[in-house]
Amino acid sequence: MPARTSSPSCGRRAAMSESLAQRAAALDAADELAGARKLFALDEAVYLDGNSLGALPAHVPDRVADVVNRQWGQLRIRSWTEGDWWSAPERIGDRIAPLVGAAPGQIVVGDSTSVNVFKAVVGAVRLNDDPARTDILVDATTFPTDGYIASSAARMTGRRIVPVDPADLTSALGPTTAAALVNHVDYRSGRLHDLPGLTAAVHEAGALAVWDLCHSAGALPVGLDAHGVDLAVGCTYKYLNGGPGSPAYLYVAERHQASFDSPLPGWTSHADPFAMTPGYEAADGSTRGRVGTPDILSMLALEAALEVWDGIAIETVRAKSLALTDFFLECVDAYVPAGRVTSLTPAEHASRGSQVALRCEDAPRVMETLTARGVVGDLRRPDVLRFGFTPLYVGFADTERAARVLAEVLAG
């Protein structure tokens, strides 16, 4: 029986694979963020789901053990003062502030993203309390919870929800607009929206801009102060690696803080919380965004996790993010047969977050098989494969491997 020979196309694919793998190795060798990878507890899998849950910073378990065993176990109630638990929401907010372009004193950490969206939307309407401004514009492609919360906020404040595609937001603004709630990065497609331009348009219409930063904070520059954002919210368990269910945060621009009227006034946002008076008087500054007792275990785990950002510039992270997603799209184009996947993520850098979303037939089976083969991404039903690129621990060799395995799964 004659020996089997490889087809010319197989030879070309093998040469292309070798070439891309060599480029990946060279890019990793030149990567100035490569040293950050060792700060995380990682295995051999390619982890491309950090836009759902960030990887564990390796030092966090020991820090949490200290909080549990010494601060809670030994110091007990004394840790509110001796361990400085009381100031954690503002202290950690100031730690997050440089990552989103905010000066100190404008971010408070606590509660969930959903709760903070509620505070921000109702707070925005109360700040812009003109009876003629009857509309709250909401990103029509938003993560569902934002829409649910905004609808409830509208009912509570007597306003009307107006769903608008971000591409049409500017034309939808007008004298009846009270506030606009927009996602900085679309959770499904990875599209990056124009925060500076849209914020300016919202202000030109006399309205307030509320931004959801869940899929941008820790992946790219935001510039809250520089671009005049009014209020913003975000989670900390994605690119900030704070852990499952880690507390979210609320940004209230300094110029609005004295008038910010939270719809959820709690005892820890009181000007004198331990007076226990029946009447409410809001604290000054970002503290008035608090509600109840902080979740100390999650809060201090987040504080420890944020140490991986010491000495790292968000601009450097953005440059690597774009390089990774460019390289992934190039590898997908080289390895995956034409027509098998379609990118939903914009090719233009100015419109791309830190993820790539691919439309794919039989996506649930494909993602299940990818995960079994050590490439962990995310599925958005019915047909979207979503891959998040966290520059602190994802490398170019990871990226090439992910595209190659995807092609193998689709071929199988």
Domain limits, the chain: 8-58+312-411, 86-293
| Amino acid code (one letter) for 369 | T
Q: 187 labelled as ligand-binding? A: no
Residues 181-210 pLDDT 10s: 999 999 999 999 999 999 999 999 999 999
236 labelled binding-site residue: no
For 212-268, what is each residue's pLDDT tens digit? 999 999 999 999 999 999 999 999 999 999 999 999 999 999 999 999 999 999 999
Enclosing H/E stretch for 212: strand 208-212
Q: Is 267 annotated as a binding residue?
A: yes
CA pair distance 389, 375, nearest whole angstrom? 12
Q: Which residues pair with 380 in a beta bridge?
A: 384
pLDDT greater than 70 at residue 7: no
Predicted local distance difference test score (pLDDT) of residue 13 = 66
DSSP 251-284: EE-HHHHTT---SS--GGGBSSGGG--SS--BPS
237 is in an annotated binding site: yes
Residue 145 is assigned to a ligand binding site: yes
pLDDT tens sequence across 267-286 = 999 999 999 999 999 999 99
- Give the mean model confidence (pLDDT) for residues 297-323: 98
Helix (H, G, I), strand (E, B) or coil at 331: helix
238 Cβ contact partners less than 8 Å away, ≥ 6 residues apart: 50, 51, 52, 53, 54, 214, 215, 217, 218, 388
**What digits encode the pLDDT tens for the residues 47-93?**
999 999 999 999 999 999 999 999 999 999 999 999 999 999 999 99
CATH code of the domain made up of 86-293:
3.40.640.10
**Catalytic residue annotation:** 143, 212, 237-238, 386
- Confidence label for 18 from pLDDT (cuts 50, 70 and 90): confident
User: CA–CA separation, 141 vs 224, rounded Å?
Assistant: 22
The half-sphere exposure of 317 on its side-chain side, counting CA atoms within 13 A, is 27
Task: Give yes or no for residue 119 having a pLDDT over 50.
Answer: yes
In the chain, % helix, strand, coil (3-state, to 5) comes to 45, 15, 40
Is the pLDDT at 5 greater than 70? The verdict is no
Predicted pLDDT at 16: 77
Task: Say what the pLDDT of residue 395 is.
Answer: 98
Question: What per-residue confidence (pLDDT) applies to 1?
Answer: 34
Q: 114: annotated binding-site residue?
A: yes
Average pLDDT (117-138) is 97
- From the options 3.90.1150.10, 3.40.50.300, 3.40.50.2000, 2.40.50.140, give the CATH code of 8-58+312-411: 3.90.1150.10
Instruction: Quote the DSSP letter at residue 137.
Output: E
* pLDDT at position 8 over 90: no
C-alpha span between 143 and 138 (Å, rounded)? 11
What CA–CA distance (Å, rounded) separates 107 from 95? 9
Please give the share of the chain, as a percent, with pLDDT higher than 90: 95
* pLDDT (0 to 100) of residue 6: 44
246 annotated as a binding-site residue: no
What gap in Å lies between CA 294 and CA 265, rounded to an integer? 14
Write down the pLDDT at residue 9: 58
Q: Is the pLDDT of residue 14 over 90?
A: no
Contact 405, 375 (CB under 8 A): yes
Residue 269 tokens read as 């946002």
Question: Chain-wide mean pLDDT for the chain?
Answer: 96
Q: How far apart (Å, rounded) are the C-alpha atoms in residues 381 and 160?
A: 30
143 assigned ligand-binding residue: yes
CA distances from 363 to 342, 347, 386, 410, 412 (A): 12, 22, 10, 10, 14
Characterize 79-100 residue by residue with b for buried, 16 or more Cβ atoms within 10 angstroms of its Cβ, and e for exposed: bbeebebeebbbebbbbbbebb
Q: Could you tell me which residue, 214 or 4, shows the higher pLDDT?
A: 214
Q: What is the pLDDT of residues 354-411, one digit of tens each?
A: 999 999 999 999 999 999 999 999 999 999 999 999 999 999 999 999 999 999 999 9
